[in-house]
Amino acid sequence: MASPANAGDREKVVSKLPGWLRQDLKIRSAQLGIEIQGAVEQGLAQWSALASAPTAVDTSGADSFSTWLPAGQWDTFRNIAADRGISLTQGLAQAVQVWLQTHPAPTVVRPEIPRRIIVCNQKGGVGKTAITAGTGEALAEDAATLHPVRVSKYFAALLDDNDGSDPLALEDLPGLGLRVLLVDFDPQCHLTRQLGHTPLPMEGDSLTKHMAGEAAGRLADLVVPIEEDRFGDRLHLLPGCHDAFLLDVRLSAVRAREASLERALAPLEGEFDAILVDCPPSLGLSMDAAVHYGRRRPNEAPGASGVLIVVQAEDSSADAYDLLTSQIEDLRGDLALDIDYLGIVVNQYDGRRGYIATSSLQAWTDIKEPRVVGVIADLKEQKEAVRLKRPLLAYAPKSDQAIGMRALAREIS
């Protein structure tokens, strides 16, 4: 049952646990940031301190389970199990159950002010819509389920600059469990269609009409759920409308037009923890309104809200980036706003394209303010998800792109 102690004065023990209990242990340990061996150690100590054995646990189908415990703890546990007349498998299952009961799952921390993530670049075709959807999906995944995430030195691996550790290693982590609203602010309505919905009719109510002071009803009535089990009831969409092509013209006659998006979305904010805005490829008044909406509000932590800039590893993205940041800096200065950069996402990256791609990626990572917070590969799963009108993280949850979206969501959280 036990091997000689390792360098950390622990010994390997091998027993059995039912699969469902082992999975609960794995998830709860990850939720609490505790190593499994530490959780088992605590559970055995708690179980051993009880005056008698608790209720029996169903251990049918139990299979091999191993961990490392402090030297001597397993022998003590074995003696107590013998005194109580139960098997080691039953005793271990009871100990794990005791630990789970005394270490409940943490509740999802809800921000007092909903985070506002403005996904933008005035250059079209860089994949803003995919990043908006994928980041929102990653924020909304179930907090009681583990999902593969790459959290280590991924950028360093792409640039062949790491410390010898495995930069591509995956880690299973609980979802973030946030209530998320995706706002399709682009008149082309790509986000709406990609998630399987139809753009709002031109003659009906829309976000554009609410921003222009011509609302025909409640904006909340236009919001639709993304019905995938993976997201529960946490992921929603405000569909786009082609009338947004006329938004800049309409805003020119609106008082305090920079705050028009904020006025429109304010009634929805109490229902969501994060609101992601998929911006049009524009430097017009609508972009001013989006950036203003992402400004840091009083009592809001720096970096909670702001602009997330999507680029590609090629030269034209750099030109568009300069134009966008100039507009943001003008708004900062003219309106005295605190506008935070959440980072740069290099999208649709493929190192096989040679020097242009690799040198451009290096140039983006050389920018330290704002820094690169995500590199998303150009792979088939995203295109397939779009064709099937399904969220990427529901269609291909273990794909490299999905793993990258989860890493991105955590980088900006």
**Helices 355-366 and 315-335, axial angle in degrees (round to 10):** 20
Q: Which pLDDT belongs to residue 319?
A: 80
Judge whether residue 6 has pLDDT over 60.
Answer: no
| Predicted local distance difference test score (pLDDT) of residue 2 | 43
Cα–Cα dist 319/342, whole Å: 19
The arrangement of secondary structure in 115-411, i.e. its CATH architecture, is 3-Layer(aba) Sandwich (3.40)
Comparing CA positions, the residue from 229, 232, 240 lying closest to residue 182 is 240
Please name the amino acid found at residue 131.
Answer: I
Mean per-residue pLDDT for 79-83? 96
Mean pLDDT of the chain: 91
For residue 320, pLDDT over 50 is answered with yes
**CATH fold label, 10-102:** Arc Repressor Mutant (1.10.1220)
Tell me: pLDDT of 310 over 90.
Answer: yes
At residue 354 the predicted structure's pLDDT band, cuts being 50, 70 and 90, is confident
Q: Do the beta carbons of residue 187 and residue 211 sit within 8 Å?
A: no
Domain residue spans of the chain: 10-102, 115-411
Asked whether the beta carbons of 136 and 235 are under 8 A apart, the reply is yes
The token pair at 359 is 């040198």
Residue with token string 């996402």: 345
Question: How confident is the model over 193-229, as pLDDT tens digits?
Answer: 999 999 999 999 999 999 999 998 999 999 999 999 9
- Per-residue pLDDT tens for 36-68? 999 999 999 999 999 998 999 999 999 999 999
Q: Who wins on pLDDT, 354 or 389?
A: 389
